[in-house]
Structure 1
Amino acid sequence: MIQPQTLAERSVRGRGRTHAVVFPRLGAAKPRRRTGQWAAWAFVAPLAAYLAVFYAYPLYRNIELSLKDYTVRAFVQGNAPFVGLDNYATVFQSPTFVPALVHTALFTGVSIAFQFTIGLALALFFHQSFRLSATLRALFLVPWLLPLIVSASTWSWMLNSDSGVVNSFLSAFGIGQINWLTSPDLALASVTIANIWIGIPFNLVILYSGLQNIPAELYEAASLDGAGSWQKFWRITLPLLRPVSAITLVLGLVYTLKVFDIIWIMTRGGPGSSSSTFATWAYQLGFGSVLPALSPAAAVGNLLIILALVFGLIYVRTQRKQDQS
C-alpha cells in the first residue's frame, strides 16, 4: 500500500481507463546529490593541495622574487625593496641574453627534431613483428631509465679530448684530436648530441603506443588498393599519428627547455658562454658566484616558464581547431 506521506496520486480518465500518476516526494534526491558533491570534493582536494603547494606557491614566490631586489641579507630578513620590471630589463640588457636565447633555441629545436625523427623511425621498425622486437625495445629504454647525472658523466668521459673513447676511435682512421667539450664551436653540438641520445627512448615509447592503436585493417585495405609502403606512411600512419605526435613534441619541448643537468655536467655552459642556455644561465646567476643575483635569476626562470606556456597554449589551440574540424 502506498503511503500518503511519500506519494501523491491523482486519477486521470482517458479512453475508459483510470491511470494513477505517482509523483515522487520533492527533495528526496537532495541528500544524495550533496553526498556526491562532497565525495567529488574529497577526491579533488589532495590534487588541489598538491598543485597549490608544489606549483602555485613556488610560481608565486618566483614572480615575487623577480619583482624585488633580493640580496642574501634581504632574502633572510624579508625586506627586499620592490623594483618592478628592473630585473627583467637587466636580463634583457645583459650581453649573455642573446647568446643564451640563441643557444636555447638551437639546443631545443635540434634536439626535438632528431629525437622525434629517430624515435619515429625506431617505432616503425619495432612495429614490425620479429623475434627480438621486445628485447631490443627494452634495451633502448636503458638511456631513459638511467639518472641524468650518470648519462651526462658517461658522455663527458666519452667525449674527453685526451682519453675519450670517441677520439680513440677516430684516431684509428687518422683523424686528429677533437676538443668536443672545450671548443667554443663544438661544445653546444656535443651537449645536443648527448641530449638527443637520452630523449630518443621517450619518443620511441610514445610513438610506438600510438602505432599500436592504428587498425591493421587500414593497411590491409591500402595494400589491396595497390598502395606502397611510402603511401601507407603518408596517407595512413602520419595522419592517424598526429594527436600522439603533437603531445610528444609539446612534452619534448617542455622537457628540453628546462634541461640543466646534461649541460652543466658536461660543459658548465662553457667554454665562456658558448653552450649556455636559459637554464644554466639562471643557475649561474643564482648559485654560481659568491654574491648571487637572485632576482635576475628568477627573471630568467620566469622567461623559461613563459616560453613553455606559449607553446603549450599553441598546442591547446591547435588541438581545439582539429577537434572542431
Structure 2
Amino acid sequence: MTQQLVRPARRARPEMSEKQLAFWMLLPAALLLLAVVVYPVGRLIWTSFFDYSNGPVNPPYIGLGNYSKALSDSDVWQALKVTGLYIVITVPGGMLFGLLLALLANLPFKVRWPVRLSLLLPWSMSMAFASLIFAWFFNSDYGVVNDVLKRVGLNAPNWLSSPNLAIVATSITIIWKTSSFVALILLAGLQTIPNEMYEAADVDGAGAWTKFWRLTLPLLTPSLIVAAIFRTITAIQTFDVPYIMTNGGPGRITTTVAMMIQQQTLQFGNFGYGAAIAVLLFLLSLVITGFYLRHIGGER
C-alpha cells in the first residue's frame, strides 16, 4: 500500500494595513529627503556655532557668536539691502512680464508652437550664459545697447560701472531670464480655465478687460501665488547675474547676501560665519514664504 505524503498547507501571509503600506512606500522618499535636505541643513546650523577664522582644524565653539557678529555687520546689512532691492524690482517685473508672455502664448493662434517655443528658450538657457550675453549687451565700449543709443543721438553711459545703472542692468537680465519660468506656470494655469466661461461672458456682453479682470485674474490666482513664491525664493538667493556681470561692484553696490556667503566661505575660509549668514538667509526665505501662504494665498 503506497503511503501518500501530505504536504502541510502554506500559511497565508498577513496583509499589510494601509498605514504599513504607506510607511514602506514613503520610506525611500523620506530617506532621500533626510540625505539631501535635513542633514545638510543640520550640518549648516552646527557649523555656524564654530569659529573657523583661524583654520578648519579644531575650530573653537562660540555658540551664537557668528550670529551676533552677522547682525551687527554693516556689510551684511548692505548685502541684505541689495538683495531686498532685487526682490522689489525683479519679482514684480518678472511676474508682470511673465503674465504678458503667458497671455500671448494662450491666444488662439493657428500655429502656436513658435510662440510657446520662445518661452522655453530663456528658461532653458543657463543663468551664467544669459549673464555673459547681457554683460556684452551692456558693455560700455562695444555693447549693443550703447550702440543703439549712439545711433539715435543719446549718451552712452557706463552701465556696469555706475552704481544705479549696474542695478538696472542686472535687474533687466534677471527679469528676462526668470519671466519665462513664470510664464510657463501661468500658461498652465490659463489652460485649466474652461472656454465655456469665456463664452458665457461674451453672451453677457463682457469686454476683453472685464473678462481679464473679473474672470481670468481670479481663476489664475493660485498659479500666480505659486509663481510668486518660487520667484521670490530665487530672488532671495540672487547670485549668478551680479557675480558674473559686475562681480558685486562697483564697490559693493550689487553684492547680495548669497555673494557674501560665497566670499566668507570660499574666499576667506570662514565657514562658521558664512554658515551663520546662510542660516539667516534660510530663515528669511521661510518667513517670506509663510507670509505668501498665509496672507496672500489665504488659509485653505
Residues paired across the two proteins, number: 290
Question: Which residue of structure 2 aligns with residue 65 of structure 1?
Answer: 47
2:282 is equivalent to residue 299 of structure 1: no
What code does the residue aligned with 1:56 have? V
Q: CA deviation at 1:30?
A: 9.3
Q: Which amino acid aligns with 2:291?
A: I
Aligned pairs for 1:191-270 (under 5 A) are 191-270=170-249
- Matched residue, 1:179: 158
CA displacement at 1:317 relative to structure 2:
2.9
1:31 aligns with 2:18: no
More strand by share: 1
For residue 44 of structure 1, what is the amino acid of its counterpart? L
Indicate the RMSD between aligned Cα atoms, in angstroms: 2.1
Does structure 1 residue 54 correspond to structure 2 residue 36? yes
Consecutive unaligned residues in structure 1, runs of 5 or more = 1-27
Aligned to 2:26: 44
3-state SS in 1 of match to 2:172:
helix
Larger Rg: 1
Pairwise mapping of residues 34-183 of structure 1 onto structure 2 (< 5 A)?
34=17, 37-71=19-53, 73=55, 75=56, 77=57, 79-183=58-162
Task: Please list, as runs of the form range in 1=range in 2, the aligned pairs for 1:305-324 lying within 5 A after superposition.
Answer: 305-318=282-295, 321-323=298-300
Structure 2: which 5+ residue stretches go unaligned?
Answer: 1-10
How far the C-alpha of 1:322 sits from its partner, in A, is: 4.5
- Give, in whole Å, the separation in 1 of the partners of 2:105 and 2:241: 28
CA distance in 2, matches of 1:123, 1:320: 21
Kindly provide the amino acid, as one letter, of the partner of residue 33 in structure 1: M
Cα distance in 2 for residues equivalent to 1:161 and 1:61: 44
Rounded to whole Å, the distance in 1 between the matches of 2:295 and 2:12 is 41
CA distance in 2, matches of 1:131, 1:61: 54
What is the identity, as a one-letter code, of the residue corresponding to 2:282?
I
**Could you tell me how far apart the structure 1 residues matched to 2:158 and 2:113 are?**
38
Amino acid at match of 2:15: R
Equivalents in 2 of 1:181, 1:298: separation in Å? 30
Q: Using the alignment, how far apart are the partners of 2:203 and 2:220 within structure 1?
A: 22
How far 1:39 sits from its partner (Å)?
4.1
Q: Name the CA shift for 1:110/1:30 in 2 (closer, same or farther; >3 Å).
A: farther
Q: Is the 8 A contact 2:90 2:175 kept in 1?
A: yes
Secondary structure of the corresponding residue to residue 199 of structure 1: helix
Greater Cα offset, 311-320 or 208-217: 311-320
